[in-house]
A and B are shown apart, each in its own frame.
Chain A
Amino acid sequence: EAGVTQSPTHLIKTRGQQVTLRCSPISGHTSVYWYQQALGLGLQFLLWYDEGEERNRGNFPPRFSGRQFPNYSSELNVNALELEDSALYLCASSQTGVRYYEQYFGPGTRLTVT
């Protein structure tokens, strides 16, 4: 069974630019989560999508946004990039329902902002 996939693997962008990251969940999973892992910091929750709707977001500014498509894949968009946005961006997926709490992570996208 294929795991969570993310693209691209690495990105280098200039401050002020915009970036789009992509995630495909495990087959059968309908929830997608985005996390940011900056150097030296723990994973910080960004966004949760389920059944095409944004269900919750973490303490990040509105320039972090995204969407979920009918096939449950997801995009994370970051506008007006700042140097502190440099981080590993991780996508996770899970099934939905009271019995399904585990989140399975993809390999991440390393974003460097210069």
Chain B
Amino acid sequence: EDQVTQSPEALRLQEGESSSLNCSYTVSGLRGLFWYRQDPGKGPEFLFTLYSAGEEKEKERLKATLTKKESFLHITAPKPEDSATYLCALRGFGNEKLTFGTGTRLTIIP
């Protein structure tokens, strides 16, 4: 069974303090690993797709990386508007649904 574990559950950073969020996963065959951002009471907003180990994607202050067992979301010099819950999800072979982790709630303090 596909599994996704995210850590930490919550993270508070000062504005400008860089850090990383972790997503550990187990899957029989990876079709894609996805990162989403979710603001309170809203639907998840798509950020990145990673398909194979060694792949990296960047968008503004965010960079996502992938290994065979983990993905990291690195946030560089964050701003208060980066505060949100970041969700990791994966899609395995023969499985159309996404399996989600429970997310990391990120708070950036001005």
Interface flags, B21-55, vs A, CB<8A=1, else 0: 00000000001101010000111111001000000
Question: Across the interface, do B97 and A101 meet the contact criterion of CB distance under 8 Å?
Answer: no
Stretch at the interface among B10-18, B56-64, B75-83, B100-108: B100-108
- Cα-based distance from A43 to B44 in the complex (angstroms): 10
Q: Is the interface of A mostly helix, strand, loop or mixed?
A: strand
Q: Name A58's closest neighbour in chain B (CB-CB).
A: B97
Check if B91 sits within 8 Å of A43, measured CB to CB: no
A49 vs B8: C-alpha distance in the bound complex, in angstroms?
A: 34
Contact at B96–A105, with CB atoms within 8 Å?
no
Q: Which of A45, A56, A107 has the most CB of B within 10 A?
A: A45
Contact A105 B97 (CB under 8 A): no
**CA A102 – CA B46 in complex, angstroms?**
8
Interface size class of B (residues with CB under 8 A): 20 to 34
B43 touches A106 (CB 8 A): yes
Q: Identify whether the interface residues of B are mostly helix, strand, loop, or mixed.
A: strand
| Closest chain B CB from A18 CB (angstroms) | 24
Q: Which residues of A contact B73 (CB under 8 A)?
A: none
Q: Is the CB of B49 within 8 A of A101?
A: yes
Task: Tell me the smallest distance from the CB of B73 to a CB of chain A, in Å.
Answer: 16
Is residue B87 within 8 Å, beta carbon to beta carbon, of the partner chain? yes
Cross-chain contact of B43 among A31, A50, A105 (Cβ < 8 A): A105
Give the size category of A's interface with B: 20 to 34
Q: Is A72 an interface residue (CB 8 A)?
A: no
| Max chain B Cβ within 10 angstroms of own Cβ: one of A33, A55, A56, A102 | A102
Assuming the contacts A56-B97, A58-B97, asked whether A104 and B31 have C-beta atoms less than 8 A apart, the reply is no
> In whole Å, how far is B7's beta carbon from the nearest beta carbon of chain A?
14
Instruction: Report A78-109 residues with CB < 8 Å from chain B CB.
Output: 88, 90, 92, 101-108
Q: List the A side residues contacting B109 at CB < 8 Å.
A: none
* A-B residue pairs in contact (CB < 8 Å), sample of 6: A41-B102, A43-B100, A50-B96, A101-B34, A106-B43, A108-B42
A contact set with B: CB distance below 8 Å: 4, 6, 31, 33, 35, 41-43, 45, 48, 50, 55-56, 58, 88, 90, 92, 101-108, 110
